[in-house]
Structure 1
């Protein structure tokens, strides 16, 4: 869907008509941003990784190509992992030398308010960011077996059940570091690689607490995009607010 927004950028809402991903599913998303353009991609609601049969792994692959002088906001809502899920997820982003980007990947391990736990499952995740063919950033995450026990380890997540990775690529990345660190909760960190690549990760008890920390940060970063690429009044897509 393409909501009407009061900017020159395009907003697209991805819809999974199956309602989630289970073993054997293979979903691929490819998007390109033309020279000098701006695109915001989000999802209608949280993605869900459901129970999979033994030996079956769901696949979710996203490829974004961002041309010269353009900007992309990759702002999917949370991916919720359910008991006995099996999901392999890849995000590959190719930037032109002067392109900019804001990339977000929220993740929830069961819905705490519903009493859900994930004591058995598989989740493999990879994020790769390139500029003009040269790799700038690679991050990988792997959970197999009892995810809850792994998350409870003090040097993994110390009991957190939700996390998010944020990647911001723009000339003002270094200038954003101090203000964003002041906004972070205790279980979070931010750093800058080079002059224009800002990385941030937040851990939270559940999805609600994660959003409480994340939304003000995303509002700040979308407001600091070039004027022609900003979201309306610096706010997130409407589906994030429901």
Structure 2
């Protein structure tokens, strides 16, 4: 007797072909990368480097003493069950900018499992970190669980910028459903100085129309600045952001939130804001408008 082939059409249009119905086993991606810096010869230099899986780090050479690390996810994005681990330790007196080669992409999760990103940043005494990755582009039915943990020692300074873009406007993409669980913990001299948890689940498109969430916009950003001069930038930052968000400065930290109609409009305001907070260092060269 000839054995019949069974085709089962899933809700998203994929096909399972087998002699019996079986659940597809999805291949998972995992990557890990870390580095540390040291101050020598009057400049910040790479001390240790580790990378495995899909994660890579590159360190462009510049004519000045600027130290920059560029994160690369060779997988081109994440989907359900993928895991990334980033770790950075800045030695005493070192200064570094960390950015990404491209926007990170969170694709649809077929089984509902979230992609996981774990970021650990350690700033030793009198070190300075500008964490300036490009946007995270979140696609329909994506799922993401991310945790950012920062440990700062005396005299350290931090600028942390993170942005989400929900679909690509020029492609006509809309994010209807999805899941995000994003948690930040920042400690200064072993004291918790900043904690936040952004969670959204279910019908994102419907929730995003609410004024208290995205007010029908497609791009959002959070900017956290912790340094001795945190209060001196508040007025200038308000002028840059305008009606697109808000700024607060208290208890040793500066916090701004922005919403815009698309990623281009968001970057138009992020670029001068970053330049203000980095005291003219400007956005990384990998950013472009």
TM-score between the two structures when normalised by the length of structure 1 = 0.93
* Divergent runs of 4+, >4 A: none
Distance in 1 of aligned mates of 2:253 and 2:147: 20
* Structure 1, gaps ≥5 residues long: 225-233
Stretch deviating more after TM superposition (29-38 or 119-128):
119-128
* CA deviation map 1:29-62 (0-9, x unaligned): 0000000101110000100000112242110111
Q: Does 1:205 align with 2:261?
A: yes
**Which protein shows a greater Rg?**
2
Match of 2:94 in 1: 37
Q: Does 1:117 align with 2:174?
A: yes
Distance in 2 of aligned mates of 1:111 and 1:126: 24
Distance in 2 of aligned mates of 1:67 and 1:120: 41
Match of 2:201 in 1: 144
Distance in 1 of aligned mates of 2:78 and 2:63: 33
Match of 2:272 in 1: 216
Distance in 2 of aligned mates of 1:61 and 1:72: 18
Structure with greater strand percent: 2
CA contact (8 A) 2:272 2:282 kept: no
Two-structure CA RMSD over aligned residues (Å)? 1.2
CA contact (8 A) 2:233 2:276 kept: no
Match of 2:52 in 1: none
Match of 1:83 in 2: 140
- SS of 1:28's partner is strand
How much does 1:5 deviate?
2.0
Distance in 2 of aligned mates of 1:97 and 1:160: 39
Distance in 1 of aligned mates of 2:267 and 2:217: 14
Whose RCO is larger (CA < 8 A, sep 6+)? 1
Match of 1:57 in 2: 114
CA contact (8 A) 1:9 1:37 kept: no
Q: Does 1:73 align with 2:130?
A: yes
Q: Does 1:169 align with 2:197?
A: no
* CA deviation map 1:76-102 (0-9, x unaligned): 000000011011011111100210011
Matched residue count? 232
